[in-house]
Amino acid sequence: MNLLDEHFHHPRNRGLIAADASGSAGDEGCGALIRIQIAFEDRVIARAAFEASGSRAAIAAGSLLTTLVTGRSWWEAAALSAPAVAGALGGAETSGVAAAPRSGGHAADTGRAADAGAAPRSASGRLIAAAAGFAVDALHAALTDAATRGTLPGIAAGAGDIVLVAMSGGVDSSAACLLEQRAGARVLGVTMRLWSAPGGAVETAASCCSPAAERDARAVCHQLGLPHLTVDCSVRFREEVVEGFAREYLSGRTPNPCTACNGSFRFPLLLELAARLGADSVATGHYARVRQAGAGPVLARAADAVKDQSYMLWGLDPGALARIRFPLGEYRKEETRALARSAGLVTSEQPESQDICFIPGGDYRIFLRDFMNQHKLPLPGRGEIVDASGLRIGFHQGYQDYTVGQRRGLGGGAPEPLYVLGTIPERNVVVAGTHAELAVRLVEMGGVNRFVPVDEGESLLVQLRYNSPPVPARLAVAGDTWKLELEEPVMGVAPGQSAVLYRGETVAAGGVIRSTDRGLPVEPA
Strand partners, 483: 444, 476
Locate the DSSP E strands across 404-519.
Answer: 419-424, 429-433, 440-450, 459-463, 471-478, 481-490, 498-503, 506-516
DSSP state of 74: H
Spatial distance between the Cα atoms of 165 and 143, rounded to a whole number of angstroms: 17
Q: Is 357 in the active site?
A: yes
3-state secondary structure of 507: strand
3-state secondary structure of 461: strand
Among 343, 323, 341, which Cα is nearest to 225's? Answer: 343
Residue 264 exposed, middle or buried by CB count within 10 Å (0-12, 13-18, 19+): middle
Contact status, residue 209 vs residue 194, Cβ threshold 8 Å: yes
Q: What's the sign of the alpha-carbon dihedral 71, 72, 74, 79?
A: negative
Contact status, residue 144 vs residue 229, Cβ threshold 8 Å: yes
Contact status, residue 493 vs residue 403, Cβ threshold 8 Å: no
Spatial distance between the Cα atoms of 24 and 52, rounded to a whole number of angstroms: 10
Q: Which amino acid appears at position 82 of this protein?
A: A
| Rounded alpha-carbon distances, angstroms, from residue 257 to 243, 285, 433 | 10, 18, 27
3-state secondary structure of 222: helix
Spatial distance between the Cα atoms of 275 and 322, rounded to a whole number of angstroms: 13
Report the run of H or E that residue 231 belongs to, with start and end. strand 228-232
Catalytic position from the list 177, 208, 221, 261: 261
DSSP 175-243: HHHHHHHHTT-EEEEEEEE----TT-GGGSTTSTTSHHHHHHHHHHHHHTT--EEEEE-HHHHIIIIIH
Catalytic position from the list 177, 209, 258, 357: 357
Q: Which residues, other chains included, contact 193 with Cβ-Cβ below 8 Å and sequence gap of 6+? A: 144, 209, 214, 230, 231, 232, 233, 234
Spatial distance between the Cα atoms of 4 and 41, rounded to a whole number of angstroms: 29
Residues annotated catalytic, as ranges: 261, 357
